[in-house]
Structure 1
Amino acid sequence: MAVLTSEAVVLRTWPVHEADLVVSFFTRDYGRMTGVAKSALKSRRRFGGALEPMTVARAWFAERPKQDLVRLDQLEIIRSPLSLPVDPTRLTVLSLFAEVLEEALPEHDPQETVFRLIVSVLEQTTVEQPWMPLTYFVLWMTRLMGLLPDIAHCTACGETLETGETTFNAYADGLFCRVHRNGNASELSADSWQLALKMLRAPVGAFAGEPWPRRRGQDLRRFALQSLERHMERKLKSGEMLGRLAG
């Protein structure tokens, strides 16, 4: 039974037996995995503080014959979410990252681009700036999951969208012109539409220096989260928590 190694992001853990933990983690090379970390609650040498959700670590694990769960042997921290200050908003944003990845990604399916996305947004997610990386993450996840048609054109008729006429609804992917909006449509502001076009062409670090109050991109986040929830066929608990925090 060969031991494999890969850079990974811890998604969540839950206890099993007396000192073991089941760990959901997303690896760069092998996709999302679920494994058992034996004696994880007792062994600081093998795991230490690396089991906090959204920890980026080097993981060593082995696939076991006829077993769904891998054997997780060790995690070595590369970047911990606790290395920066934590407040309720930042903690909930990190929880949303983990929830989306766990619910949206199939197991054992390498997703290099998604892995690079989560590592890049984690670097930008601070107490002072939680909303920009959140907006970037949910928008790009809709793109990478194939849920985002060309947002420069109306999904229904293909006509070029114009500033001030862009709409979306909870029951269909993409954006629509005013002619093809349905009765439940919501407006996507001109600022958010232009922002989405820019975000799809630039790395997350390009937006790091911009002022980003909570309301900026709020409708864009709602549009992207609706698309993700429709695909996953469930409401995101962390999304509801963010809504309460945002007021």
Structure 2
Amino acid sequence: MAVLTSEAVVLRTWPVHEADLVVSFFTRDYGKLTGLAKSALKSRRRFGGALEPMTVARAWFAERPKQELVRLDQLEIIRSPLSAPVDQMRLTVLSFFAEVLEEILPERDPQETVFRLIVSVLEQTTVEHPWMPLTYFTLWITRLMGLLPDIAHCTACGEVLVAGETSFNAYADGLFCNVHRAGNANELSADSWHMGLKMLRAPVGAFAGEAWPRRRGADLRRFALQSLERHMERKVKSGQMLGRIVG
């Protein structure tokens, strides 16, 4: 049974038996996997500190014949979410990343661009600046999953959209012009529309120096999250928690 290795991001863990853990982790080379980590709660040498959600680690694991779970042998920390200051807001944003990836990624399907996305936004997610990487991730994961139509044009008629005259609704993908605006539509502000177009053309680091209060891009985040939830067919719990934290 050959042991494989890859960079990985820990998504979720849950206990089984006395000291074992089942671990959901997203690898750069093999996609999302679920593994059994024997004695993980007792072995600091093999797993110590590396089982927190959103830990970037080097993983060693092996396929098990006729078993859905891989055998997870070791995680070696590359970047821990606990190596920087944490507060409730940052922890909830990290939980949001983990929950969305856990729910939306198929098993054993390599997604190199998604892996690069999550690593890059984790580097930018700080106590002082959680909103920009949250906005960037929500928009880009929607696009990479094929759920984001061209936001420069009206989904209904294909005409070029105009800043300040753009809307979205909870029951349809994409953005709409005023002619095809639904009765229950939400406005997408001119700033958010322009920012969305910019974000789809530039890396997350390009926005690191910008002031980003929590209200900036709130409608853009809501637009992307509605698309995700519509296709996931459920609400993202950590997304609802973010709403409660900020009021």
Asked if these proteins are the same fold (TM beyond 0.5), I'd say yes
Give the Cα separation in 1 of the matches to 2:231 and 2:153.
22
Q: 1:178, 1:142 → 2: CA distance?
A: 24
The TM-score, its normalising length taken from structure 2, stands at 0.99
Match of 1:46, as an amino acid? Answer: R
Q: Which residue of 2 aligns with 1:25?
A: 25
Question: Deviation above 2 Å: which 4+ runs of structure 1?
Answer: none
- Equivalence for 1:109: 109
Q: Which residue of 2 aligns with 1:56?
A: 56
Q: Secondary structure at the match of 1:45?
A: helix
Find the counterpart in structure 2 of residue 196 from structure 1. Answer: 196
| 1:200-245 C-alpha deviation (Å, 9 max, x unpaired) | 0000000000000000000000000000000100000000000001
1:9-48 counterparts in 2 under 5 A? 9-48=9-48
Q: Where do 5+ consecutive residues of structure 1 fail to align? A: none
Match of 2:156 in 1: 156
**What letter matches 1:48 in structure 2?**
G
Q: In structure 2, how many angstroms separate the alpha carbons of the residues matched to 1:79 and 1:169?
A: 38
1:246 shift after superposition? 1.3
Does residue 79 of structure 1 match 2:79?
Answer: yes
Partner of 2:135: 135
Give the residue type in structure 1 aligned to 2:180. H
Q: Work out the CA distance in 2 between the residues paired with 1:178 and 1:63.
A: 53
Who is 2:184 aligned against?
184
Q: Distance in 1 between matches of 2:84 and 2:3?
A: 32
In 2, Cα distance between equivalents of 1:239 and 1:7: 27
Partner amino acid, structure 2, of 1:240:
Q
Once residues 206 and 180 of structure 2 are traced to their aligned partners in structure 1, the CA distance between those partners, rounded to angstroms, is 34
The one-letter code sitting in structure 2 at the alignment partner of 1:115 is F
> Residue 94 of structure 1 aligns to which amino acid in structure 2?
L
TM value normalised by structure 1 = 0.99
Partner-residue secondary structure (3-state), 2:15: strand
Q: Which residue of 2 aligns with 1:88?
A: 88
**Alpha-carbon offset, residue 99 of structure 1:** 0.3
Counterpart residue identity of residue 140, structure 1: W
Amino acid at match of 2:221: R
3-state SS of 2:193 partner: helix
Root mean square deviation, CA, Å: 0.4
Q: Secondary structure at the match of 1:35?
A: strand
Q: CA deviation at 1:134?
A: 0.3
1:207 maps to what in 2? 207
Q: Identify the residue that residue 144 of structure 1 maps to in structure 2.
A: 144
Q: Sequence identity, in percent?
A: 88
Q: Where does structure 2 lack aligned partners over 5 or more consecutive residues? A: none
Deviations 1:45-81 (CA, angstroms, capped at 9, x unpaired) = 0001000000000000001010000000000000000
Alpha-carbon distance, 1:183 to partner: 1.2
Distance 2:42 2:148 in 1: 45
Report the Cα offset of residue 184 of structure 1. 1.3
State the alpha-carbon separation in 2 of the partners of residues 22 and 184 from structure 1: 43
Q: Distance in 2 between matches of 1:65 and 1:181?
A: 54
The equivalent residue for 1:4 is 4
Q: Give the distance between the partners of 2:147 and 2:177, measured in 1 at CA.
A: 18
